[in-house]
Amino acid sequence: MGFEDIIPLLNSSVRFAVPLLLACIAGLYSERSGIVDIGLEGKMLGAAFAAAAVAALTGNVWYGMLAAIFVSCCMSMIHAIASINLRGNQVISGVALNFLALGGTVFIGHSIFKRGGTTPNLPKDVRIGPIELPFAAEIGQVPFVGPIYEQLISGHSIIVYFAFAAVPITAWVLMKTRLGLRLRAVGENPKALDTAGISVFKLRYQALIITGILCGVAGAYLSTSQGANFSENMTAGRGFIALAALIFAKWKPWNALWTCLLFGVLSAAQIRLQGVEFPLIGEVPVQFIQALPYVLTVVLLAGFIGRAIPPKAVGQPYVKER
């Protein structure tokens, strides 16, 4: 495999990594605030449908984006009501939201478009297209650095740049701002915050709104930027890989970036390694590479390579003392 093969591989890795990264950062806000989110998958799916459907109906992809964020936030708020106000089981609420999205998207999609759950193909101008960074063609002539700039860094959709920008922003918010300090605290020791007169409920709601927005963008990316329409269950477990990535990243934003890129490379490599013979081990089954992110996460969780320690209060509903 030469240099010119590596750039397309990395390029497709980036494309695979972006929805994971967005969902992973989304989950980070939620879990850091103490709310388990199994429903990342469902929120992304609902958002992907909303984006494709509204873009197809209005002919404007940005309305689609708004609809995606709206739907994802609504689902996040259902999760919030169940887990914050009603102190319900957060895992079950997530499972329910996943099912709701799976059934609801096809139900509504079939009713509107009569295509058995898929939405019509979006023409090129009703999709979120690639952006050429300045001087891409010129710098592309420079050996080595040029192709990296022209092919790998330039030419992605705005969502890709947004996803990568979300990492330092999240790191900054979490570590350098008052909101971030409080978010981390509410996930570790909500009672301390409550005692200090800060509303645990409000903070967790804020976190879940951010989760909703990011999942919405992730969904819109899948159906209006990476793809050109919505199809049944198009997230295909990405929300769960994002959850695995979140744990693998030990709930830290920069780690999330590296983990999602690693999982992205695994996804991209899986397609390219099909039928490739390796010296000594021979052909690696595709399914093995498919399972690798999950296996790695299990191994990490079990503490065989480092330790992943979740926020202390995660999953426990907060009961205010009277």
Partner 1 sequence: MSGARQPLPSWALNVLMPAMNVLLALFVGGLAVALIGENPIEAMRVLAYGAFGSGYGLGFTLHYATSLTFTGLAVAVAYHSGLFNIGGEGQAYVAGLGAIMMALWLDQTHWVFVLVGSIVGAMTLGALWAAIPGYLQAKRGSHIVITTIMFNFIASAFMSYMLAQVITNPGANAETRTIAETGRIPLLSEYFEFFKHSPVNIMLIFGILALIGVYILLWRTKLGFKIRTLGQNPEAARYAGISAVSIIVIAMAISGALAGMMAVNEAVSVQKRLVVGYVQGFGFIGIAVAFMGRAHPVGIVLAAILFGALYQGGVELAFVMPAVPSELVLVIQALVILFSGAMDEMFKPVLERVFGAFRSKPRTDDSTATEEA
Helix (H), strand (E) at residue 278:
strand 277-278
Contact 79, 21 (CB under 8 A): no
Among 204, 205, 226, 206, CA closest to 217: 226
| 165 makes contact with partner 1 (CB under 8 A) | no
We find the least distance from the C-beta atom of residue 191 to partner 1, in angstroms, to be 20
| 273 makes contact with partner 1 (CB under 8 A) | no
* Residue span 81-120 as binding mask against partner 1, x where in contact by CB under 8 A, dash where not: xxx--xxxxxxxx-xxxxxx-xxx-xx--xx-----x---
* Residue span 216-245 as binding mask against partner 1, x where in contact by CB under 8 A, dash where not: ---------------------x--x--xx-
Stretch that binds partner 1, among 7-15, 48-56, 256-264, 291-299 (CB under 8 A): 291-299
Find the angle CA(294)-CA(90)-CA(218) to the nearest 5 degrees: 55
| 128 makes contact with partner 1 (CB under 8 A) | no
We find the least distance from the C-beta atom of residue 239 to partner 1, in angstroms, to be 10
Contact 41, 218 (CB under 8 A): no
Question: Six-digit token pair at 147?
Answer: 């192709």
Cα separation, 174 vs 159, whole angstroms: 21
Pick the closer one to partner 1 by CB: 99 or 172.
99
Contact 35, 226 (CB under 8 A): no
| # of chain residues touching partner 1 (CB under 8 A) | 47
Question: Six-digit token pair at 281?
Answer: 């081990």
* Residue span 26-45 as binding mask against partner 1, x where in contact by CB under 8 A, dash where not: ----------x-x-------
Given 285, 306, 312, 319, the residue binding partner 1 (CB under 8 A): 285
Task: List, as own/partner pairs, every contact residues 108-113 make where C-beta atoms lie below 8 angstroms and the sequence separation is at least 24, other chains included.
Answer: 108/49, 108/53, 109/49, 109/53, 109/230, 112/53, 112/57, 113/53, 113/56
What is the contact surface with partner 1 in residues (CB under 8 A)? 36, 38, 78, 81-83, 86-93, 95-100, 102-104, 106-107, 110-111, 117, 237, 240, 243-244, 247, 285, 287-288, 290-291, 294-295, 297-298, 301-304, 310
